[in-house]
Amino acid sequence: MNFVSLIHLPLRNKNFKLLTLVLFIGVFSATTYWIGFFQNNKNGIHPHKSTKWESVNFILDHLLNSYVDSIDAKNLKQKTIQNILKELDPHSSYIPADKRISANESLVGHFGGVGIRFMILRDTLTVVGVIQGGPSAKNDIKKRDRIIEISGENVASIGLTNEDVLKKLKGKIGTKVDLKILNKDQKIVEKTIIRDQIKLKSIVSNAIISPGVGYIKITTFSNSTDKELQVALKSLQNKGMKKLILDLRFNGGGYLHQAINVADEFLKKDQMIVYTEGAHSPRLSQYATNAGLFKEGALAILVNSTTASASEIVSGAIQDHKRGIIVGRRTFGKGLVQSPLMLSDSSEIRITTSRYYTPLGRCIQKPYGDTINYEEDLINRIANGELSNKDSLTKDLAKGGIWPDAFSPIDTSNYLSPFYNVIYSQAWRDFCFDFYESNPETKYKELGEFNTSFHLNKQDLNAFLSKEGIDESVKIEDYDMFNKSLKLELSSYYFTENERYIISAFDDNDVQLAVKLLNN
C-alpha cells in the first residue's frame, strides 16, 4: 500500500487518524529535508574543515544561497562585523569604505574642498565665511554670495541639506567644480573652482582673556594639534601670557601620540604621561621630554562630560603630577585604545587593543557590559544632580572619568527660559544673518569693544518674536540671552570663527572660575 492510497482509506477511529497524521508529518518533513539537502549540495554548499571559523563561513554562505529571500552580500558582511564588534566593547567599530575618508577627516586634519563656510538660508545655499588663502578666496567668492548651481545642477529652493552640500562641494584635490553664484549686488556670475587641501584646525581659538591669562581651545587631537599648540603658545607668550587655561570641553579625543605630545608641553622631563597595556599588548610607558614651551606657569584645564579619550590622558597626567588644576565636571570615561586596520575592500575596523592608565595607575574607563546602558550615562548624570550640585559628587573612581579638582556646575539658567528653543531655531539664525546683511560693517574695530558696547535693539527683537507668533513677555534675563546669541553669530561674520569662541569665553562660568583660581 502506498502513501497516497493510505490517506484515502476510511478513518474508522481516532487512533487510526493519529497514526495517519504522524505518518504524514514524518514523510513530509523527510521529503522537505532531502529536497533542501540535495539543493544545497547542488549549489556546492557543504561544511568543510579548512579553518577554525568553518561554522561561521558555512552559515554565511548558507544564508546567501538558501535563505527564503534574497540577501545582499555586502550588507550581510557589514552587519555581521558590526554585531561582532558591538558585543566586545562600546568603542570597537567598523567603518564602511564609503564612509572611511570622511570619518578620518578630523584626525587627518584636512580634506579636499572649496574652502567656504555656509548656511542654508531660506532654502538657499549662502556663503557665510571664506577660508583665507583657499580656492574660493582665490576666485573672489565673498560672504553673502548665494550659490544657485553646482556643476550645472540647480541647488536653489529644492530642499537642500547640509549633507547634500558637502557631497557636492567636497572631492578629490585637483578636481574642478563649477559654481553659478548670485552675488550681493544681485548679479549672476560663474566660477570654476579647483578643489584643494582644506585644513581642519584642531585649535579653534586662542587669546589673552584676562591680564596675563591666556586661553586655548582644542576641539580634537589630530595630526597637527601639537604644531598648532606650539604656534598658539608662542603667540600668547609674545602677548604677555604667564598663566594658561586649556579648554578641552567637548573634545572627544583623537590620536594617542598627539595627547602625549600635548602633555609634553607642560610636564617636566621623565615625568610619566600615560601607559597602555592589554592582553596582547605589553605595557608601554610614555614620558615627557625636555621639549615643551610651558613647563612653568599656572595651568588650568577645563573639562566636562564630553571630554574623552586623548583629552582625558592629558587631564589625568596634569592632575596626577599636580601640574595644574582641573576645572569643570567629571569627564566622559573612555580608557580604551583603538588600533585601526584597513581591510582589502578599503573599509576599516578599529579594535580595542589596550587600556590606558594615568601615571598613578588609574584606568578611567567607565563601566560597560550587558547590564549597563552605556548610552544613557550622561542622562543619568543629569538626573542624579552630578552636573549641577556639588553635594551630589562622590568622586567614586569606579564610575570612571577624571574628577575635577574644582567643580563648576553646568549653567542651567537658559534652560528655564521660555525662549530657550527659539534661540536654537532656524528662524533665529536667519534673523541673525539678516541683521548682518542689513549691517555688513561694524563700527567696532576691537572685539572687546564690540562685546561690551553692542546691544540688540529691543524693537527689532519684539518684531522678530511677533513675526514668529510668540507673545511671551521678554524679561531682562531673556533679553540678555538673545543679545549674547546675536553677538556670537555676528562675531563670526564681522571678525573670524576664533572671535566667536572668545566672545563665548567672556561670559563662560567655567572660564571665569578658572581665571579666578589662577589669579589666586
- Burial class for 453, CB neighbours closer than 10 Å (0-12, 13-18, 19+): exposed
CA distance 450 to 484: 11
Say if CB 228 and CB 205 are below 8 A apart.
Answer: no
Chain centroid to CA 316: 22
* All cell numbers assigned to 248: 578641552
May I ask the CATH architecture of the domain 203-410? Alpha-Beta Complex (3.90)
Q: Is the pLDDT of residue 36 over 60?
A: no
- 145, 320, 478, 508: which is the annotated catalytic residue? 320
Angle between helix axes 476-494 and 497-506 (nearest 10 degrees) is 150
Q: Is the pLDDT of residue 53 over 60?
A: yes
Backbone angle region of 496, left / alpha / beta, with phi > 0 → left and psi within -120 to 50 → alpha: beta
CA distance 39 to 110: 53
Percent of the chain with pLDDT over 90: 76
Quick one: which H or E segment has residue 36? helix 14-42
Q: Is 205 a catalytic residue?
A: no
Which tens digit of pLDDT belongs to each residue from 14-35? 444 444 444 444 444 444 444 4
**Which spans in 390-508 are helix H?**
420-423, 426-438, 447-453, 458-467, 476-494, 497-506
Dihedral through CA 235, CA 236, CA 237, CA 241, nearest 10?
170
Return the pLDDT at 419. Answer: 92
Return the pLDDT at 389. Answer: 87
What DSSP state is assigned to residue 221?
B
CA distance 47 to 54: 7
Residue 98: count of CB within 10 angstroms of its CB: 9
Q: Is the pLDDT of residue 47 over 80?
A: no
Residue 8: count of CB within 10 angstroms of its CB: 7
Q: Which residues of 395-415 are buried (b: 16+ CB within 10 A; e: fewer)?
A: eeeebbbbbbbebbbbeeebe
Percent of the chain with pLDDT over 70: 90
Q: Is 413 a catalytic residue?
A: no
Which tens digit of pLDDT belongs to each residue from 465-484? 999 999 888 999 999 999 99
Quick one: which H or E segment has residue 272? strand 272-278
* Range scoring the smallest mean pLDDT among 241-245, 405-409, 412-416, 458-462: 412-416
Dihedral through CA 444, CA 445, CA 446, CA 448, nearest 10?
0
* All cell numbers assigned to 191: 566660477
pTM above 0.95, yes or no: no
Say if CB 353 and CB 337 are below 8 A apart.
Answer: yes
Domain 110-199 classification at class level: mainly beta
Which tens digit of pLDDT belongs to each residue from 270-294? 999 999 999 999 999 999 999 999 9
- 168, 217, 243, 334: which is the annotated catalytic residue? 334
* Range scoring the smallest mean pLDDT among 80-84, 103-107, 237-241, 515-519: 103-107
Return the pLDDT at 3. Answer: 37
Say if CB 133 and CB 153 are below 8 A apart.
Answer: no
- Burial class for 189, CB neighbours closer than 10 Å (0-12, 13-18, 19+): middle
Quick one: which H or E segment has residue 209? strand 203-210
Which tens digit of pLDDT belongs to each residue from 170-224? 999 999 999 999 999 999 999 999 999 999 999 999 999 999 999 999 999 999 9
- 136, 222, 305, 309: which is the annotated catalytic residue? 309
Mean pLDDT computed over every residue of the chain: 89
Say if CB 517 and CB 213 are below 8 A apart.
Answer: no
- Return all residues near 157 (Cβ < 8 A) that are at least 6 apart: 123, 124
Return the pLDDT at 1. Answer: 39
CA distance 122 to 319: 48
Q: Is the pLDDT of residue 107 over 90?
A: no
Strand boundaries in 165-202, DSSP class E: 176-182, 188-194, 196-199
CA distance 116 to 136: 7
Q: Is 334 a catalytic residue?
A: yes
Return the pLDDT at 402. Answer: 96
Identify the residue with better confidence: 13 or 456: 456
C-alpha to C-alpha distances, 139 to 194, 360, 403, nearest whole angstrom = 10, 54, 49
